[in-house]
Amino acid sequence: MIRLSIIFFLLFPLLAILPARTFMNQKGQKIEGELLKLDGQTAHIRMNSNNKSYEVPLKTLSQDDQDFITEWYRNQGSSSKKEANDTVSTATEDGYKPSFRDSAQKLKDAYQLKDNFDAPWPDRVAIDLDIEIKVVEESKAERKFIYHSPNYEFVCDVGLSKNVIKKFAVLFEATRQFCKELPISTVKSRVPDGAFRYRILLFEEQQNYINAGGPPNSAGVFRTSTQEIMVPLKSLGVKKVGSSYMYDYKGQNKTLPHEIVHQLTDNEYYASGSVGWFTEGIAEYVAVTDYRSGKFMVKSNRKEIMEYVTAYGEDGTGGRALGENIHVGDLKSYMMQPYKKFVAHSNTNYGVGLLLTYYFFHMDGDGDRQAITGFLKALKEGKKGEAALEALLNGRSFEELEKDIAKAWKSKGIELRF
């Protein structure tokens, strides 16, 4: 219970504060002010100099500001919305109904799960494509259509054929399988099949998605307030052809697996010292790994990861374009920065988070993951901030760790400057 309240107290008061910052437009002009609200594609900003509020079209602002506003907006509404429609779950034999709000320890106890830190790193993750889809409800009058795959509940505002649902449900189920096989002991991904149904809200029109709170210009979002993923059908590769829907997805959308990982990441991993670099790093790690119809090719993902961080993806899937010489600054400050600050410079911070996450998984020490495992165990024990990072240092100073990281990435052709 205590751990649970820590995570929500941690997130919510931060989000309730109106974010003040220096905004910059595309022409490089700066305005100091406070973000009041986002109305479709228009940000309302109160300028510090004269205390008046202005309507600023989102697209006229710098990319950093757009990301910042979108990230802020996506976390809004948490206090006004009714309590989360908890994940659909099935009771155990002794009557326990698991909830996303439960601590990892509670879920572990209920299902007698063991940590999987000692499991081998998966080379390849694949699921059976022939998954079962059930129609739960189809109400045209209410525009509410509910479908189940083994571990997901899809709530859609338009009716879809079982065949189309089956095709996109594979991406969700495969991403869950990836998280389950990663030896980082996320409990939410390892509860028995069907114990949870993670809820996904699907929207026929982009505008309906935005009206429901989806950030403009985004392809999907995980909302901490409701623990649901919202996604416009377009992002799933579902297109309207005549009067019916067709499926055409080639793994081009990295947003979706990214958000699926957030939904499956244990609450404890969102503590300070980890939130930001690790929670975004792990989401990026999974999302950037090559995916094709139910299969993640994990073993060879370093190439994609480097390409994604340094350039725009070769296959046109986008990237961080940070180049091969990246300024990180002080590692400890980077890891300890509040999430709000982290997302304010999302492009660099997400890219660096991915490189660090990859480093701790595969390059640190002799590749035995001792430091990251110690760090994750410390988080599970309720440690946070510097106390948790102590485990990640694994006997080193921050300066020594910076040197280790820089050396490892330099040997692969990326210069990280601390």
Residues near Zn ion, by CB under 5 A: 280, 283
Q: Which is nearer to Zn ion, 283 or 371 (CB)?
A: 283
* Minimum distance, C-beta of residue 123 to Zn ion, in the bound complex (Å): 25
Residue with tokens 């879920």: 107
Q: Which is nearer to Zn ion, 166 or 258 (CB)?
A: 258
Q: Which is nearer to Zn ion, 268 or 280 (CB)?
A: 280
Residue with tokens 């899809």: 154
* Minimum distance, C-beta of residue 23 to Zn ion, in the bound complex (Å): 22
* Minimum distance, C-beta of residue 287 to Zn ion, in the bound complex (Å): 9
Beta strand extents in 164-308 (DSSP E only): 196-203, 221-223, 228-232, 238-241, 244-247, 290-292, 295-297
Q: Which is nearer to Zn ion, 215 or 251 (CB)?
A: 215
Q: Which is nearer to Zn ion, 67 or 280 (CB)?
A: 280
* Minimum distance, C-beta of residue 378 to Zn ion, in the bound complex (Å): 22
Residue with tokens 């045209």: 140
DSSP 30-78: EEEEEEEEEETTEEEEEETTT--EEEEEGGGB-HHHHHHHHHHHHTTTT
Q: Which is nearer to Zn ion, 215 or 232 (CB)?
A: 215
* Minimum distance, C-beta of residue 283 to Zn ion, in the bound complex (Å): 5
Token pair of 354 as six digits: 């991915």
Are 191 and 43 in contact, with CB atoms under 8 Å apart?
no
* Minimum distance, C-beta of residue 168 to Zn ion, in the bound complex (Å): 20
| CA–CA dist 409, 390 (Å, integer) | 22
| CA–CA dist 64, 67 (Å, integer) | 5
| CA–CA dist 222, 238 (Å, integer) | 19
- Residue 21, H or E segment: strand 20-24
